[in-house]
Amino acid sequence: MDRSDQKQRGSVTSPENPDSLLSSPLLANASAGAASGAASSANTLRKEIRVWTRDLLIAIGLALVIIVFLYQPVKVEGTSMAPLLSDQERIFINKFVYRFEPIQRGDVVVFWYPLDHSKSFIKRVVGLPGETVEIRQGVLYVNGKVIPEPYVPPQYEDNSDFAPLPVPKDHFFVLGDHRISSNDSRVFGPVPSQFIYGRAVFAYWPVDHFGSLESTEASSK
């Protein structure tokens, strides 16, 4: 009797036994659910990181393509375009803009120097094909009409004269804003359109000059 009782008592599962608690079906399911939820959250986080990384790389790639193929960084040397541009200033030029729109008066353009194609110049367009350009005591005339030049400060004006000159077809008359210190069309004549390969659009260095150059062009037209 004692042995039977002992055997029966020995077969009873004690609720205080930790191993017995873990063997409960409800607790096992809860533990599995928690583990599954944690794994799902980790997978979601990894997926989001991959998506953000992919989008960031695509954005960087597109930015590089735009900069390399559409825009070109250049360094300004000299002061012929002061005060708009200073010596050693860094700017971006748009290399493709003139494939889609015509060169206009007031545009600040970059072109191969007509007398030495290994050099590039940057000047402002003041005369278009078919127009006649003249300077009288520093005042610019196109087809006999005065062209206001708010971008030329009084201290940079050149009060000399330049005889009337017709601008040939597919050529442009260019001048530096620093009129008394500029080698431009008054010296080497109008520039052929095929020599012009970009328009100044943005200054990025030094920091205090950071900003668009196109707004300045627009205000001069």
- For the domain made up of 73-219, the CATH class stated in words is mainly beta
Tens digit of each residue's pLDDT (9 = 90 or more) over 206-215: 999 899 997 5
Mean pLDDT over each residue of the chain, to the nearest integer: 84
Average pLDDT over residues 56-70: 80
- Domain boundaries along the sequence of the chain: 18-68, 73-219
What contacts 127, CB < 8 A, 6 or more positions away? Answer: 105, 133, 142, 167, 172, 173, 174, 185, 190
Handedness of CA 176, 181, 186, 192 (dihedral sign): negative
Catalytic residue status for 40: no
**Residue 179 — very low, low, confident or very high, per pLDDT cuts 50/70/90?**
very high
The pTM score is 0.71
Catalytic residue status for 123: yes
Q: Which of 20, 36, 120, 123 is catalytic?
A: 123
Question: CA 218, CA 204: separation in Å to the nearest integer?
Answer: 19
Q: Which of 80, 182, 185, 220 is catalytic?
A: 80
